[in-house]
Structures are given as structure tokens and as C-alpha cells.
Amino acid sequence: MRRFLVAGNWKMNTTRESGSQLAQALVKEVPTENQAVEVLVCPPFPYLTTIGEIVGASGIGVGAQNCYHEKPGAFTGETATEMLSDIGCRSVLLGHSERRHILKETDVDINLKVKKALADGLQVVLCVGELQSERESEQTETVLNTQMTGGLDGIDASAFDQIVIAYEPVWAIGTGLTASPDQAESAHQYLRNWLKDHYSSEIADATRILYGGSVKPDNARELLSQENVDGALVGGASLKPEQFIPIIQAAIELSAN
């Protein structure tokens, strides 16, 4: 049985103060005895240590929003996975659509980062998803295939206990438009079959596939109820405890059923 993962992507938001308050609220409200749902927050780089100290031993994990693929050295402005591990960061988001489309990261760039992060023992949340124009021209599966093939090129089956896939249709990110539960389920099914075809049934069954794109308390339960949706990658709503906590609660309740 796959354990739900609810991850908050803070993007380039919060101050040290507001991020600390947010983390404190999560520590207070997320039951420490909660084993059913993995909870992760991904603050901006400058606050990773502060937030890591606040979540401490609460069971809430801290992840980065990006990393570089080289070992520490002369790479001005970049962050090595060694540094992330050093400060207790256990996960990293890679291939987020904002990095693909605004920062122009290619599948080749993303694949180098995936390999480096896995080699250094980080959990990788690999984000994939189509643009609105690609959905309209019925290219969704082609795009997902390209991003999965490129992002996971050369990745061994043995690494899959560190890999989570996040399906994030670009048209649903930060727009208030959410994929319908059927649209989400159909993309998730495609991704699970992809894992089966390229790896094995065991890996396809065990790998978590999160949905992301305008997840809110009022749509979380229905999305998380889909058979192939194993959690949520939450942007805007993860910045507000009164929205993020009910999403976590929905996952806790559903995993009890």
C-alpha cells in the first residue's frame, strides 16, 4: 500500500518570520503520531535551515526546490546536493514547470540533477505535466512520455524507493483551474503504466504519483480519492496553515479507510 505524501512548495515566497510561523503552525497541528501520511515542506533556500530547526523531530520533512548536478566547486549561485544533505534536507523537487518554462531547464538538465540527487541519497520529486495547448492538441501523453523518458534516463530500478512522481498540468498551476478527478486519474494511470512498461509492475505499484495544480481544501478529498493519486504537491494553499492542514487531514482520513 502506498503512503500518501502531501508536500508544500513554497516557491519564492515567505520571509524568515512568516515561514517560521507557518512551520510552527504545522508542527502544532499535524499529529506527531501521524504515520499514515508523509508531510514535506519545501521552503526557499535561505530558510531551509531555519525551517528545518522548527520542524525538528516532528516527522515533517524539509525539501529543496532545486539543486545543481555538480559536486561543490566553482558554480556561482548554485546549490550542491551535498549541502542539502548537510543541513538535514531530505528531498528535492526537480523538473517543476516553473523551472522548465521560466528558467528553461531541459529534460537533459533535469536528468543530470535527478542522478546527482539520487546518488547523494535525497528523495526526488520529479514533476511532469503538459501545457494547456498540449492538452488541447491531445499531446498530454506524448509530453508525459518525453518528460519521463528524459528525466529518468539511465535511472536504475533500485533507485525507485527514492523517487516520487508529481503530475502537475501546467494550466492548473496557480490558476485556480484544477484537473477534474477524471483528468487527474487518467494522467496518473498513464504514468503508472509507463512505470510498468519501462520498469516493472512492482515499481509501478510502489511508486507514489502526486497530483499538483490548484489543490485546495475543497478539492483535495476528491482528488486524493482517485485510485492512482497518492498525494498532493501544493503551492499557493501550502502557504496558509488553514488551507494546508485540512489537505493533510483529508489524506490522513482517507488513508484510514
Binding site for ligand PGA (CB under 6 A): 9, 168, 173-174, 212-215, 233-237
Shortest Å distance, C-beta 121 to ligand PGA: 23
Q: How far is the CB of 252 from ligand PGA (least distance, A)?
A: 19
* 45 φ/ψ angles, rounded to the nearest 5 degrees: -45, -45
**Rg (Cα) of the chain, in Å, rounded?**
17
| Contact present, 167 and 129 (Cβ < 8 Å) | yes
Tell me how far, at minimum, the Cβ of 69 lies from ligand PGA, in Å: 21
In sequence order, the β-bridge partners of residue 93 are 125
The C-alpha atoms of residue 89 and residue 121 are separated, in whole angstroms, by 10
**Helix 16-29 / helix 241-256 crossing angle, nearest 10 deg:** 30
Q: What are 114's three cell numbers?
A: 535527478
The CB-nearest residue to ligand PGA is 235
Q: Is the CB of 152 or the CB of 234 nearer to ligand PGA?
A: 234
- Name the minimum Å distance from CB 232 to ligand PGA: 8
Which lies closer to ligand PGA via its Cβ, residue 6 or residue 237?
237
Residue from 96, 98, 134, 188 carrying the catalytic annotation: 96
Task: Please name the residue that has the C-alpha cell 530558510.
Answer: 47
CB-nearer residue toward ligand PGA: 62 or 173: 173
Q: Residue 122 or residue 203: which is nearer to ligand PGA going by CB?
A: 122
| 168 in catalytic set | yes
Q: Which is nearer to ligand PGA, 93 or 204 (CB)?
A: 93
Instruction: Please say whether the beta carbons of 119 and 82 come within 8 A.
Output: no
Catalytic site includes residue 96:
yes
Shortest Cβ distance from residue 162 to ligand PGA (Å)? 20
| Given the residues 98, 134, 168, 185, the one annotated as active site | 168
Give the integer Cα–Cα distance in Å for 251 and 189.
19
**Spatial distance between the Cα atoms of 24 and 55, rounded to a whole number of angstroms:** 7
The β-bridge relationship of strands 163-167 and 91-94 is unpaired
Positions marked catalytic: 96, 168
